[in-house]
Amino acid sequence: MIKEGFNPMSELINSLHSSEANPIFLISFYTMAFLFGISVGSFLNVVILRLPRHESLIKRSSHCMTCGAKIRACDLIPVFSWLMLRGKCHSCGEKISPRYPIVESLNGILYVLTFFVLDLNADSIITCVLMSLLIVVAFMDWDTMEIDMIIVGIIFLLAVPSAFFTDRATLFHRIVGAFAISLPFYIIGEISRGFIKKKTGEDYRAIELGDTILMFAAGALLGTKAIIVSALIGIVVAAIIGLINKYVTGNSKFAFGPFLSIGIAIGSLWGNGIADWYINLLKGPAQQ
């Protein structure tokens, strides 16, 4: 079925959403995307653990953290090994954190979801990279209350291939998007800093600089509409979890980054669609 002017790349692009897409191709593609995703997820666990401690990301420790037993090669398979071992070290039986398979499968699921929503193209590949970086931002911020600027820098750099190879947003809306949320966040942060210092004597902001720079980078990547949707979702989820957290632990201070990451992940997949739907809603019933 080779057509005139056959181009394998353009045949492949948009092939996932085509009604003629071969079901066997689809199943194998999504399986491969998931398996690749959990393998990358395995590396993300290393990054989340070692980046805050400034340890080498390449040198892999192959010993149990409790008993020091060498981890067998067959126990290094993402997700599956953890399930086979029922979350315990093969030697000493010490619990292995479920966090490892959770990060791995989350990355796999997000890759599958990204290709399912955005199809197979430059945008979905860039978005998969973004998803992995957001996982690192979210878990590291959760652990350390710090957002790593190297990771945020890579998110910002993704805006370059995104501007060249995708029609996600115009250059104008990438510039506006960079400031649309980060600027209000910065202003709120600075104002709150004064209040907090007066009230408690401590020097911190209601919205930290890390969160602000994350929204700058993601805004440049996603454009105005999607970054506004991302921020709104992040703020709403954070407010709900924050209230629950305050009720349960009595502590009102918590990491904002994980919730902004959830917002950006949703915004990168459906942000433009949600924004258009909302704008149409405000316009009221169609005139024609």
Instruction: Please compute, for residue 116, the number of CA atoms within 13 A of its CA located in the half-sphere on the CB side.
Output: 11
Q: Rounded to an integer, what distance in angstroms lies between the CA atom of residue 96 and that of residue 99? A: 8
Q: Rounded to an integer, what distance in angstroms lies between the CA atom of residue 25 and that of residue 28? A: 5
Residue holding tokens 């990771």? 151
Contact call for residues 213 and 154 (beta carbons, < 8 A): no
Q: Rounded to an integer, what distance in angstroms lies between the CA atom of residue 103 and that of residue 42? A: 8
Q: Confirm or reject binding of residue 89 to Zn ion (CB under 5 A).
A: yes
- Identify the DSSP state of 88: B
10 Å CB burial of residue 233 (0-12, 13-18, 19+) is buried
Tell the smallest beta-carbon distance from residue 89 to Zn ion (Å): 3
Residue of 14, 18, 22, 66 interacting with Zn ion (CB under 5 A): 66
From 29-37, 63-71, 186-194, 227-235, span contacting Zn ion (CB under 5 A): 63-71
From 3-11, 57-65, 129-137, 250-258, span contacting Zn ion (CB under 5 A): 57-65
Residue of 21, 27, 67, 150 interacting with Zn ion (CB under 5 A): 67
Residue of 91, 144, 192, 245 interacting with Zn ion (CB under 5 A): 91
Nearer to Zn ion, 71 or 131 (CB): 71
Tell the smallest beta-carbon distance from residue 37 to Zn ion (Å): 27
Q: Confirm or reject binding of residue 92 to Zn ion (CB under 5 A).
A: yes
CA distances from 204 to 70, 208, 238 (A): 43, 7, 18
Nearer to Zn ion, 57 or 76 (CB): 76
Q: Confirm or reject binding of residue 64 to Zn ion (CB under 5 A).
A: yes
Nearer to Zn ion, 14 or 66 (CB): 66
Instruction: State the residues that interact with Zn ion by CB under 5 A.
Output: 64, 66-67, 69, 89, 91-92, 94
